[in-house]
Chains A and B, each alone.
Chain A
Amino acid sequence: MSMEEKQNSQTSLDFNQNIFKPSSREEIVEIVKNCYRKNIPLEINGLKSKNNIGRNFQSEKTLDLSDYRGIIDYKPEELYIKVKAGTPLKEIVEELDKNNQQLAFEPNDFGYIFSGESNSGSIGGVVSCNFAGSRRFKVGSVRDHILGFQGINGKGETIKSGGTVVKNVTGYDLSKLISGSFGTLTILTELSIKVLPKPETSKSLIIKNPHLKKALDYLGKGLSSSTDPSGGVFYPEYFGRNFILNDLTHDGGLTAIRIEGPINSVDQRLNRLSKELSLLSQEFSILDNEQSNIFWVRTKNLEVFNSLKSNLLRIVVPISETLQVIQKFKNYEIKYFIDWGGSLIWSSFDQLNTKILEEIKNIVKKHQGYITLIKVEEDLKASADIFTIDPIKYKISEKIKKSFDPKRIFNPGKMYTGI
Chain B
Amino acid sequence: MSSLQMPKVDDAIMSKKDKIASELRGIINSKNVLSSPDELRPFETDGLTAYRQMPLLVVMPETVEEVSQILKYCNENKIKVVPRGAGTGLSGGSMPLEDCVLIAMGKFNKIIEIDYENRCVVTQPCVTNLAITQAVQDKGFYYAPDPSSQIACSIGGNVAENSGGVHSLKYGATTNNLLGIEVVLMDGTITRFGGKAMDAEGYDFLGLMTGSEGLLGVITEVTVKILKSPEVVKAALVGFPSIEDAGNCVAQIIAEGCIPAGMEIMDKALTKATNDYSKAGYPTDAEAMMIIEFDGTEHEVEAYIHKAKEIAEKNNSSSLKISKSNEERLKFWAGRKAAFPACGVLAPDYMCMDGSIPRGKLAEVLNEISRLSKKYNLPVANAFHAGDGNLHPLIMFDANDKESLRKCEEFGADILKYCVKVGGALTGEHGVGIEKRELMCEAFNDKDIQQQLTIKVALDPNSLLNPGKVYPILRKCAEEGRVHVHGGKTKFPDIPRF
Q: Does A70 contact B (CB under 8 A)?
A: no
Contacts of B398-439 to chain A: CB distance below 8 A: 423-432, 436
Contacts of A162-182 to chain B: CB distance below 8 A: 163-177, 179-181
Q: Mark B201-230, 1 if CB is under 8 A from A, else 0.
A: 111111110111000100000000000111
Chain B contacts of A388 at CB under 8 A?
201
By the criterion CB–CB under 8 Å, are A144 and B175 in contact?
A: yes
By the criterion CB–CB under 8 Å, are B191 and A170 in contact?
A: no
Q: Does B331 contact A (CB under 8 A)?
A: no
Q: Does B199 contact A (CB under 8 A)?
A: yes
How many whole Å from B92's CB to the nearest CB in chain A? 14
With A167-B356, A316-B197 known as contacts, the answer to whether A173 contacts B162 (CB < 8 A) is yes
Chain A contacts of B204 at CB under 8 A?
130, 143, 176-177, 179-181
By the criterion CB–CB under 8 Å, are A132 and B199 in contact?
A: yes
Q: Does B164 contact A (CB under 8 A)?
A: yes
Q: In whole angstroms, what is the CA distance A392 to B36 when docked?
A: 38
By the criterion CB–CB under 8 Å, are A396 and B389 in contact?
A: no
Chain B contacts of A226 at CB under 8 A?
140, 228-231, 297
Q: In whole angstroms, what is the CA distance A317 to B117 when docked?
A: 13
By the criterion CB–CB under 8 Å, are A319 and B304 in contact?
A: no
By the criterion CB–CB under 8 Å, are B162 and A140 in contact?
A: no
Contacts of B105-132 to chain A: CB distance below 8 A: 115-119
- Interface residues in B, total, Cβ within 8 A: 92
Partner of B432, one of A130, A169, A403: A169
Segment among A193-201, A279-287, A329-337 that sits at the interface with chain B: A193-201
By the criterion CB–CB under 8 Å, are A165 and B208 in contact?
A: no
By the criterion CB–CB under 8 Å, are A393 and B440 in contact?
A: no
Partner of B358, one of A78, A267, A269, A344: A78
The residue on B at minimum CB distance from A269 is B297
Contacts of A380-412 to chain B: CB distance below 8 A: 387-389, 392-393, 396-397, 399-400, 402-404
Segment among B55-63, B274-282, B450-458 that sits at the interface with chain A: B450-458
Q: Does B300 contact A (CB under 8 A)?
A: yes
With A153-B451, A225-B228 known as contacts, the answer to whether A167 contacts B164 (CB < 8 A) is yes
The A/B interface has a contact count, at CB < 8 Å, of: 254
The residue on A at minimum CB distance from B189 is A392
The residue on B at minimum CB distance from A194 is B172
By the criterion CB–CB under 8 Å, are A368 and B360 in contact?
A: no
The residue on A at minimum CB distance from B199 is A141
By the criterion CB–CB under 8 Å, are A370 and B172 in contact?
A: no
How many whole Å from B198's CB to the nearest CB in chain A? 6
Q: Does A228 contact B (CB under 8 A)?
A: yes
How many whole Å from B211's CB to the nearest CB in chain A? 5
Chain A contacts of B457 at CB under 8 A?
403
Interface-central residue, A168, A392, A396, by most chain B CB under 10 Å = A168
Q: In whole angstroms, what is the CA distance A198 to B257 when docked?
A: 7
A-B contacts, 15 of them at CB < 8 A, read A143-B199, A157-B450, A164-B358, A170-B440, A174-B452, A177-B203, A180-B201, A181-B204, A196-B259, A224-B116, A268-B299, A320-B196, A396-B205, A400-B205, A403-B458
Cβ-closest 6 pairs across A and B: A176-B207, A197-B257, A265-B300, A167-B428, A318-B196, A399-B458
Q: Hey, which bits of chain B sit against chain A, CB under 8 A?
A: 115-119, 140, 161-162, 164, 168-169, 172-173, 175-176, 185, 189, 191, 195-208, 210-212, 216, 228-231, 251-252, 254-259, 296-300, 302-304, 356-360, 385, 388-390, 423-432, 436, 440, 443-444, 447-452, 454-455, 457-459, 470-471
